[in-house]
Chains A and B, each alone.
Chain A
Amino acid sequence: MSSSTIKSAYWTGVRHGAPFLLVIVPFAVLFGVVGTEAGLNLAEVMGFSVLVIAGAAQFTAVQMMSDNAPTLIVIVTALAVNLRMAMYSASLTPYLGEAPLWKRALVAYFLVDQTFAVGHARFEARPGMTLAERLAYLFGVITPVCPTWYAMTLVGALVGQGIPPEYALDFAVPITFIAMIAPALRTAAHVAAAGVSVALGLALAFMPYNTGLLLAALGAMIVGAQVELWTGRRE
């Protein structure tokens, strides 16, 4: 392997990551706006995007904080949203497991939905890639996606301070979540899980400290997994 194939793997990654800017830019701006509206200061909003770097979990945490849920429940629920990433981590291990620990740690920090989906598809399609090419490709995908997440959060936080309530921004969060969930309703199992989640989420809303949300999520996961077994389909 030469440095030119590694360079070209990197730039291929950049090209494959770039289209996600269409999703990342509005999401990141929205998080900045919503976080600021919820009462977080600039450092706190940026702390979320830099340290947590996971849109759905960040929106979940901010929403629950606005509902004054207890700290522990906020942490557990937002982490539950991120549990799918354990699956991503496991799927990439056969391709990147030989890399030095610090590089694996860096990949782990930048492992988001988009970088995983593109990276995994590429590694699967091209089994002949060397470890160095795989890493270069993945860091190529990360290059447009992750720094943009930070920068556009900052833009949203700065803009958000001046948006008046008649713009009904309270509803940006539910709309965003629905927009994220709807395309994920690929199978009967996903639809069943989402349906149970809605039903239990409403039925258990009376429970103290947002614990109903956790029970609803647990019930929905079990139903999704069961329906998958019955229908024998994955995704």
Chain B
Amino acid sequence: MNMGTAEIWMIIVALGIGSFLIRFSFLGIIGNRRIPDWVLRHLRYTPVAVLPALVAPMVVWPAATGGAFDPPRVLAAAAALGLGYATRNVVAAIGAGAVTLYAMLYLLG
């Protein structure tokens, strides 16, 4: 990355303060007031809304191959998704992805 120390620490500190304020919000400041249902309904989807959009380009256009489509990486992603969905087990899904990636990199070169 081309980032200076000051920029990196700015990100770390801003994320630290921001994350704390999100966690402290109701416990510390807002108290027992209810969150409107429509807000709750959107908050529930924040992880599945942000992370797939972040991951998809990394799978389809991996930086390590200069952005060229790479079958081992796509297959590894599919294995992690399939096993994670079937078993609901995060560690098993990571294992399936890693094993598939190394096996395919070895077989397909």
* Chain B residues whose C-beta falls within 8 Å of the C-beta of A152 in the assembled complex: none
The distance in angstroms between the C-alpha atoms of A134 and B85, with both chains bound, is: 33
* Chain B residues whose C-beta falls within 8 Å of the C-beta of A63 in the assembled complex: 54, 58
Q: Which of A38, A182, A197 contacts B85 (CB 8 A)?
A: A182
Q: Contacts A104-B24, A171-B62 known; A71 to B2 CB distance under 8 Å?
A: no
B31 to chain A, nearest CB (A): 6
Nearest opposing residue in chain A for B60, CB measure: A202
Interface of chain B residues 19 through 53 with chain A (CB within 8 A): 19-20, 22-28, 30-32, 34-35, 38, 40-53
Interface of chain A residues 50 through 74 with chain B (CB within 8 A): 51-54, 56-58, 60-61, 63-66, 68, 71, 74
- A interface majority secondary structure: helix
Our count of residue pairs bridging A and B at CB distance below 8 angstroms stands at 290
Q: Which of B10, B41, B91, B101 contacts A71 (CB 8 A)?
A: B10
Q: Is A178 within 8 A of B80, CB to CB? A: yes
Q: Is B43 within 8 A of A182, CB to CB? A: no
Q: Is B15 within 8 A of A79, CB to CB? A: yes
Q: Is B48 within 8 A of A184, CB to CB? A: yes
The distance in angstroms between the C-alpha atoms of A171 and B72, with both chains bound, is: 10
A221 to chain B, nearest CB (A): 4
Q: Is B43 within 8 A of A86, CB to CB? A: yes
B38 to chain A, nearest CB (A): 7
Q: Is A26 within 8 A of B94, CB to CB? A: yes
- B interface majority secondary structure: helix
A113 to chain B, nearest CB (A): 9
Q: Is B73 within 8 A of A225, CB to CB? A: no
The distance in angstroms between the C-alpha atoms of A197 and B49, with both chains bound, is: 5
The distance in angstroms between the C-alpha atoms of A82 and B50, with both chains bound, is: 10
Q: Does A84 contact B (CB under 8 A)?
A: yes
* Chain A residues whose C-beta falls within 8 Å of the C-beta of B64 in the assembled complex: 165, 168, 170-171
Q: Is B20 within 8 A of A201, CB to CB? A: no
The distance in angstroms between the C-alpha atoms of A74 and B55, with both chains bound, is: 15
Q: Does A224 contact B (CB under 8 A)?
A: yes
Nearest opposing residue in chain B for A166, CB measure: B105
* Chain A residues whose C-beta falls within 8 Å of the C-beta of B94 in the assembled complex: 26, 175-176, 179
Q: Is B27 within 8 A of A107, CB to CB? A: yes
Q: Contacts A86-B22, A190-B48 known; A182 to B81 CB distance under 8 Å?
A: yes
The distance in angstroms between the C-alpha atoms of A194 and B54, with both chains bound, is: 11
* Chain B residues whose C-beta falls within 8 Å of the C-beta of A81 in the assembled complex: 46-47, 50-51
Of A1-9, A92-100, A142-150, A155-163, the one contacting chain B is A92-100
Q: Is B11 within 8 A of A61, CB to CB? A: yes
The distance in angstroms between the C-alpha atoms of A48 and B8, with both chains bound, is: 10
Q: Contacts A44-B9, A179-B80, A201-B56 known; A222 to B42 CB distance under 8 Å?
A: yes
The distance in angstroms between the C-alpha atoms of A52 and B8, with both chains bound, is: 13
Q: Contacts A85-B19, A183-B89 known; A105 to B24 CB distance under 8 Å?
A: yes
* Chain B residues whose C-beta falls within 8 Å of the C-beta of A51 in the assembled complex: 12-13, 15-16
Chain A residues packing against B (C-beta within 8 Å): 22-23, 26, 38-40, 44, 47-48, 51-54, 56-58, 60-61, 63-66, 68, 71, 74-75, 77-90, 92-94, 96-97, 101, 104-105, 107-109, 111, 165, 168, 170-185, 189-190, 193-198, 200-202, 205, 212-213, 216-222, 224-225, 228-229, 234-235
